[in-house]
Amino acid sequence: MLTTTRTTRVEWGDCDPAGIIFYVRYFEIFDVSTTMLLERALGMTKFEYLKAYDFLGHPLVETRARFLRPTRFGDEIAIETAVVSCGRSSFKVEHRLRRAGVLAVEGYETRVWVIRHPDDPARMKSQPLPADVVARLTQTPVPPS
């Protein structure tokens, strides 16, 4: 399965009066990591792949996170993000966030592939993942189109 790692830094504005990261910021960090995973898989930016595959995005239907150790402003963190499984219209992603090599947070996401609802542009509708997207996320041969 496809795996990517990126590094970033916890900033002052991410932290709360206890001096540690406000946990909500981890989900912002994870969302960026999932975007980068898809960009790596598809060889395009998100702006480009939304157009190329003509869809609205890959919102979450479920997420879970475990916070093992706090991080604080100035901490350099590494986030390892991997595809865990790929269904018909959904896929699962896992994040492991480490500070100084030590696991600090684990995150799990289930996301769906959605398009604008044909009957109502204000609604969304899930859709099967394109076969070549599944192939790229699971690192199996891309089917002929």
- By DSSP bridging, strand 114-117 and strand 76-86 are unpaired
Which lies closer to a copy of itself via its Cβ, residue 31 or residue 132?
31
CA 32 remoteness from chain centre: 6
Cβ atoms of 129 and 86 closer than 8 Å = yes
Question: Alpha-carbon distance 76 to 19, whole Å?
Answer: 16
The contact set with a copy of itself (CB under 8 A) reads: 11-13, 15-20, 22-24, 27-28, 31-32, 35, 45-48, 56-57, 59-68, 70, 72-74, 114, 122, 124
- Tell me which residue has tokens 């070549």: 132
Which lies closer to a copy of itself via its Cβ, residue 17 or residue 141?
17
> What's the min distance (Å) between Cβ of 25 and a copy of itself?
8
Q: Which structure tokens are listed for 111?
A: 């996301």
Which lies closer to a copy of itself via its Cβ, residue 4 or residue 63?
63
CA 36 remoteness from chain centre: 7
> What's the min distance (Å) between Cβ of 139 and a copy of itself?
24
> What's the min distance (Å) between Cβ of 50 and a copy of itself?
8
Q: Which structure tokens are listed for 106?
A: 């684990």
> What's the min distance (Å) between Cβ of 141 and a copy of itself?
28
